[in-house]
Chains A and B, each alone.
Chain A
Amino acid sequence: MPAENTGQTPQDVLVVDDDADIRNLLSSVLTIEGYAVSSASNGEEALSKLRGVPGTRLILLDLRMPVMDGWEFRAEQTRDPALSHIPVVVLSGDGDLERATASFSGASVLKKPFDLEELITVVQRYF
């Protein structure tokens, strides 16, 4: 059974995507894989989760989202010394991914629709 990730337990992976289906499926799959997963539907929600629950070790980040998009989130994250060290894997369907992720130095980038096996391989690299 997938491990339940309640409010205060340390989260391994934070899934940030405004598409509920992707967010929920990804959470489920990773939970089944054994990770403690938390999710957020935009950058602002992601920041508040990261600040509320320490111990996140990886962020899976979509770019185009309402309220606060992935770029704005990244800017906020790198400005915050408590969060800036957390690695980010960008998952985006943007047409020009290279240009879109120019500001994400050091981040892994997977183009949507990504291959699940590849994603899991990338995720495993951080654990």
Chain B
Amino acid sequence: MPPAPPAPPSLEADRSRPSTPPIPTDPGDALLFHELGTHMREAFWLRDARTQAILYVSPSFATVFSRPCETLYQGPEALLALIHPEDRERLATARARVDTAYEEEYRVVRDDGSFGWILGRGFPVRGPEGEVRHILELCEDITPWRRTEDDLRTTNDIMRALIQASPVAILALNLEHRVVLWNSAAERMFGWSAIEVLGHVHPIVSAEEQDDFRGLFQSVLEGGGFTGVETRRRRRDGTFIEVSISTAPMRDPDGQVVAAMALLEDITERKRSERALAEELARRAALAAENARLYQQAQDAVRLRDEFLSIASHELRTPCTSVRLAIQSLLRLHRASAAGSAANATAPAGPASPVRTGGAIPPEFLTQALEVASRQTTHLSNLIDQLLDVTRITAGRLTLHLADVDLSKLVREVVTDFRGELERSGTPLTLEVTDEIRGRWDASRLEQVMINLLSNAIKYGAGKPIAVRATREGDRARVTVRDHGIGIPPDRQHIIFERFGRAVSGRHYGGLGLGLYIVRCILDELGGTIQVESTLGAGSTFTIELPCAGPPPRTEDEAT
């Protein structure tokens, strides 16, 4: 609350105590004085230059000094008593020079004990002779701004200290990209001192990053600072560091953006460790995947081996069974016959009353048994050959004995050898061969190829007709073996030439699962090819082609 204005618009009351004559004397002037004193924010008073007596005190004194106006009338020293002791002497000195104006900022002690800041000014008021008659003193309360100024100064000091102490490079660029701030971290990070770069266009963006930089800079100017943009910046020595940049626009008092401030954090090391970590993770993942693959491969190999051993044992046992059965049955009959010739054979008991003949071994059975034994020992020997072949192929030791071979003769002979088997399985076969197909091949390996293809055709041919055809096509020989049997499902056609690969379950069809694999390997060695066309349930056609000139010479690469 402002203090109540003094009652009368006259100077009489104001100078009731001082003995000096009232100034001004003119009533109009006095009124003007009073009006000024009432409405001005500043306090003012009039001092007699000679006596130092206070002649007039404006009402606003009470507001500015938070003391009643009467305080000042108590004497020349009354004002100094209100002043902060540290400022008192300075003010006293200034006020003592009556003939010159003064301007001093000083602290006043308010009645609540707090300080206020006063801007005090004094002017000599001269008489007609130029002599100083009065001193007019004006006092303005500048406490609010002194506070703001102090606050600002403190803030500035803190900011400056922070900027200089920051481990993060802090810099500011004006609209022309000239450096207006460059802290010591920036000096360390980039190698240029503040003196070298201040006022110059900043040197830390390389030519290839200029476009990128301009885009970022523009975004700051448009008022949008950004945080944590990762890019790279150039150092004085030409090397690059990876940085994370955060920015903010700097504005003038009108709110216009005049510069962009940027904080740059060196993240080179962090990026390096991130990359190292990523690489390590990738390496471990690859290792784990590789281990999993190797484990799977090992598992598959073990499974394949077990499966193969199971099939192989079955396959080897089958001919053994026939041979043993043939021999043991002959032996049994022979013994019975020998015993029967000595005494009558004893018939075994049983409801079916089977009767063992006591005579000689029936000749047709003898033939049957011996034929089985002979055929199955051959079969057994073939199985063993196949196993050995696979071992040789795996070891890369499938050697060829190349010679002049007539393929049509060879095909005819193999088919002839199959006559018995064809009859037993009731399979008709048609053979169509060109008279003579000569080439440089391995006769026994080609025989093996034909035997395997014909065995398969009979085995999977369901007793339906088989057609074998051998022709010469330019410098190549071609043999096709066509059956009309069960065929091969499309999704199995690619595996039948693989080791142990079979199109049908081993539970249903015997065999080692090696025949076509061996055929393919032999043809590979001879420089030939094998292909299959098949329709499920309608049969398969195997076509082999061989260069008549024999296998092409091997290059070093292939040989290894």
Which A residues have a C-beta under 8 Å from some C-beta of B?
1-2, 12, 18-22, 24-26, 28-30, 32-36, 57, 63-67, 69, 71, 91-96, 111-117, 120, 124, 127
Contacts and interface: CB of A to CB of B under 8 A. Distances in A.
11 contacts: A1-B357, A19-B322, A25-B322, A25-B372, A28-B369, A32-B357, A33-B354, A64-B506, A111-B317, A113-B320, A124-B348
Given A32-B365, A113-B320, A127 B314 contact: no
Contacts of A63: 507
Interface stretch (B78-86, B282-290, B328-336): B328-336
Given A20-B424, A22-B325, A28-B365, A127 B350 contact: yes
Nearest to A25: B325
Contact of A113 (B321, B333, B508, B510): B321
Contacts of B318: 19, 22, 93, 112
A2 B507 contact: no
A18 to B, nearest CB: 8
B330 to A, nearest CB: 10
Contacts of B365: 28, 32
B354 A112 contact: no
Given A24-B372, A114-B321, 6 more contacts: A21-B376, A32-B333, A64-B508, A69-B507, A112-B317, A113-B325
A95 B314 contact: yes
Nearest to A120: B332
B335 to A, nearest CB: 10
Contacts of B144: none
Contacts of A28: 329, 365, 368-369
Nearest to A2: B362
A96 B354 CA distance: 34
Contacts of A25: 322, 325-326, 329, 368-369, 372
A35 B322 contact: no
Contacts of A22: 318, 321-322, 325
A109 to B, nearest CB: 14
Contact of B332 (A91, A114, A116, A124): A116
B375 interface: yes
A121 B482 CA distance: 46
B549 to A, nearest CB: 41
A87 B356 CA distance: 23
Contacts of A64: 314, 506-508, 510
B313 interface: yes
B352 interface: yes
Contacts of B321: 19, 22, 91, 93, 112-114
A22 B372 CA distance: 9
A20 B379 CA distance: 13
B20 to A, nearest CB: 136
- Secondary structure type dominating chain A contacts: loop
Contacts of B226: none
A34 B356 contact: yes
A23 to B, nearest CB: 10
B332 to A, nearest CB: 6
B295 interface: no
Contacts of A18: 510
Nearest to A118: B328
Nearest to A24: B368
B355 interface: yes
The 5 closest A-B pairs by CB, nearest first: A34-B354, A93-B317, A127-B350, A116-B328, A113-B321
Contacts of A114: 321, 324-325
Contacts of A20: 424-425
Given A29-B325, A32-B333, A93 B313 contact: yes
Contacts of B508: 64-67, 69
Contacts of B356: 32-34
Kindly name the residue among A24, A33, A67 whose own CB sees the greatest number of chain B CB atoms within 10 A: A33
Contacts of B314: 64, 92-95
A12 B352 contact: yes
Interface in B383-425: 424-425
Contacts of A21: 322, 326, 372, 375-376
B351 interface: yes
B353 to A, nearest CB: 7
A26 B347 CA distance: 19
Interface in B302-319: 309-310, 313-314, 316-318
Contact of B352 (A36, A95, A96): A36
B509 interface: yes
Contacts of A24: 368, 372
Contact of A34 (B313, B355, B510): B355
A95 B309 contact: yes
A54 to B, nearest CB: 15
Contacts of B309: 95
B370 to A, nearest CB: 11
A26 B362 contact: no
B62 to A, nearest CB: 116
Nearest to A72: B507
A94 B310 contact: yes
A21 B506 CA distance: 20
A115 B328 contact: yes
A11 B74 CA distance: 154
Nearest to B326: A25
B488 to A, nearest CB: 14
Most chain A CB neighbours (cut-off 10 Å) among B328, B355, B372? B328
Contacts of B424: 20
B380 to A, nearest CB: 11
Contacts of B357: 1, 32
Contacts of A30: 354
Nearest to B376: A21
A68 to B, nearest CB: 8
A116 B348 contact: no
A34 B362 contact: no
B336 to A, nearest CB: 9
B362 A32 contact: yes
Contacts of B369: 25, 28
B322 to A, nearest CB: 4
A26 B460 CA distance: 24
